[in-house]
Structure 1
Amino acid sequence: MHTPAENEVLINLYAAGVNPSDVYTSTGTYAIKPNLPYTPGLDGAGIVEKIGEHVTNVKVGDRVFIASLPNGKATGTLAQQIVCEGRFVHPIPQHISFEQGAALGVPALTAYRAVVGRANVQSGQTVFIHGASGAVGLQAVQIAKALGAKVIGTASRDSGKQLVKEAGADVVLDHIKEETMNAVLEANDGKGPDVIIEFLANENLQTDLQIIAKHGVIVIVGNRGEIEINPRLIMQKECDVRGMVLFNVSAKEHQELIHGVAKLLESEQLKPVVGYSYPLEQAGKAFDAVIKGEHNGKVVVITQ
């Protein structure tokens, strides 16, 4: 591994996170095509081995997480060592394990941007997280609670519901369909939620529009196809439907997200949930598990 350049860091990696985008990129089905040869992985955690002369935010020996490297770069986190720009690296507190550190990056920054940046959640609001048992959803629950919101989360499996409850959700329900919309209203004194964080818009957006409160905000974080909606609901509710893709952020916004996440880590209001970890030689199984949705929480690969 080469000596880091002036703004780079050499890290001994102990764990790497697996994101859906990693799988899509590796199969050639993602919008961004990597330069070859290519090592997957945008997130990870480990110990700083060397730093470039201009790096000031971390030092040799620091326990750090790597947060959402630019997609398509040749060197990824599914490796024992990595050289990357120092701006993507931030120290992790002692109470956060390397596996948890690898569960930050894309999930934590996505959750923070959805809840804080796009939805602008305020204390006292009700936030409905539609699909809360995944890596992003569980951290979105924790961030919304840290802001003082009431949180209603959904999951499909009992194990997922338990994780959503442990993350701090006030109410945990099955995924909501048109015939079960009243469950959300009953859990919120007959009122619709002020904010909905949506992870499968192609199935749920029409239902979300029916239950959102007037002047509410729906943030679409995930989608896997098309859906027919009635725009009249948007008119009647005067609600906002906002899209979100993490890789749209500027370098300045990326730093703001990292620092926002870091504050919640320090205060122990954010504790990433690792659903399952695989050894490096079984990374293929980890990729399969992510696409099939086999585990709640974050799937990580142990790299040492």
Structure 2
Amino acid sequence: MAKVMRAILVKEFGDANVCKLVEDVPIPEVKPREVLIRVHAAGVNPVETYIRSGTYARRPNLPYTPGADCAGVIERVGDEVTKFKVGDRVFTVNTITGTYAEYCIANCNSVFPLPSNISFEEGSALGTPYFTAYRALIIKGHAKPNETVLIHGASGGVGIAAVQLAKSLGLRVIGTASSEQGLQAVRNQGADLVFNHKQEGYLKDIANASINNEGVDLIIEMLANVNLNNDLQLLRSKVGRVVIVGNRGTVDINPRLLMAKETSIYGVILFGSSEDEMSMINAYLQSGLKNGILKPFLGRIYPLEQAAQAQTDVIFNSGTCGRLTLKI
């Protein structure tokens, strides 16, 4: 086995151009409870751009390799690892070293089997999107069958996952997107109603589409700094709740909108998950993936050397549709 690998290194915080391809990065060594994965595909998450810019709460030591989601094959296992062996196909939810690389290290508890009917590219779309969507819908949002959920920004990675999961759980799904391609993608995932959130009056249309015009039970919010105050007006009285998955700035809200309807706002972050929660989510995903109810939806696929472009597109291309992926 080679001793060096190709990887993206960030040596200073800044814009996407600080993501540089380096050809001779040492392949990391495994510790007792870790595995070394030969990465075949890596997912690109918006949070990775915040970390790279240096504005996120968590600032890694420089230099570092971005990425937490990948799919690949186990190359080595630590001495204390019993649930995986060399050659196993796997996907990750979090890693110790970054996934924008030919190899990465992960704790064995952050690695899960990749079903044989799921490609590596599809597998790289599972970790953060599906685990976050499940936490938002079930663990924080307490979604129940026959409720109405509004998924704001439903055409991205987490949004598509949330649509699929919500439908599998028996919810009525309203989705929003900003491009015709995105709107069609959300429809294709099974959303009951789809609206363009760039069109004037779409909020009124959503309100009118709610059961008895009473509002929606649950909102999964991908861009809280833009939508949160309007979300509060769309919630159903007494039972309505918003779960914030994404945010890119501050927001002013009127607390009376919460008080008058006695509604709730929750925040969700994947890294707040317990080991038991991760196991529960994985069990649901494994079942859904094997029977075809869940199926990752891929957007554009980039070679590793175009990681900077992928990070630019995941933030600035408002028509982004599906999961952006690096093929390695």
When normalised by structure 2's length, the TM-score is 0.86
**Cα distance in structure 2, aligned partners of 1:8 and 1:51:** 6
Cα 1:3/1:199, change in 2 over 3 Å: closer
The answer (yes or no) to whether the contact 2:164–2:189 under 8 Å persists in 1 is: yes
Distance 2:147 2:208 in 1: 16
What runs of 5+ residues in structure 2 fail to find an aligned partner? 1-26
1:59 to 75, 80, 85: 85
For residues 219-258 of structure 1, the aligned pairs below 5 Å read 219-258=243-282
Distance 1:155 1:38 in 2: 33
Distance in 2, matches of 1:260 and 1:204, equals 30
Does structure 1 retain, via aligned residues, the 8 Å contact 2:149–2:172?
yes
How far residue 177 of structure 1 moved from its aligned partner, in angstroms, is 7.8
2-structure distance, mates of 1:131, 1:82: 31
1:188 aligns with 2:213: no
Is 1:146 paired with 2:168?
A: yes
Q: Report if the CA contact (8 A) 1:127-1:194 is conserved.
A: yes
Structure 2 counterpart SS, 1:53: coil
CA offset at residue 5 of structure 1?
A: 2.6
Aligned to 1:278: 302
For residue 3 of structure 1, report the CA deviation from its aligned partner: 5.0
Aligned-pair CA distance for 1:54: 2.4
Contact 1:58 1:89 in 2 (8 A): no
Q: Which moved more, 1:239-248 or 1:115-124?
A: 239-248
C-alpha displacement of 1:95: 1.6
Return structure 1 stretches of 4+ with deviation > 4 angstroms. none
Residue 62 of structure 1, CA deviation: 1.6
- The residue aligned with 2:50 is 24
CA distance in 2, matches of 1:35, 1:229: 36
The one-letter amino acid of 1:199's match is: M
Contact 2:34–2:81, Cα closer than 8 Å, also in 1: yes
Aligned to 1:46: 72
Match of 2:228 in 1: 205
> What is the deviation of 1:260?
3.3
Q: Distance in 2 between matches of 1:196 and 1:2?
A: 41
- The residue type paired with residue 279 of structure 1 is P
Name the SS for the 2:197 alignment partner. coil
Change (3 A) 1:87 1:181: same
The alpha-carbon deviation at position 2 of structure 1 amounts to 5.2
Instruction: Please list every run of 5 or more consecutive structure 1 residues that lacks an aligned counterpart in the other structure.
Output: none
Where does residue 151 of structure 2 map in the other structure?
129
- Tell me the distance in 2 between the aligned counterparts of 1:17 and 1:127: 26
User: How far is the alpha carbon of 1:53 from its aligned partner?
Assistant: 3.1
1:275 shift after superposition? 0.6
| TM-score, normalisation: structure 1 | 0.92
Q: Give the distance between the partners of 2:198 and 2:259, measured in 1 at CA.
A: 22
SS in 2 for 1:11: strand
Partners in 2 of 1:266 and 1:53 — Cα distance? 30
The residue that corresponds to 2:327 in the other structure is: 302
CA contact (8 A) 2:44 2:325 kept: yes
Residue type matched to 2:323 in 1? Answer: K
Q: Is the 8 A contact 2:178 2:198 kept in 1?
A: no
Identity between Structure 1 and Structure 2 (%): 47
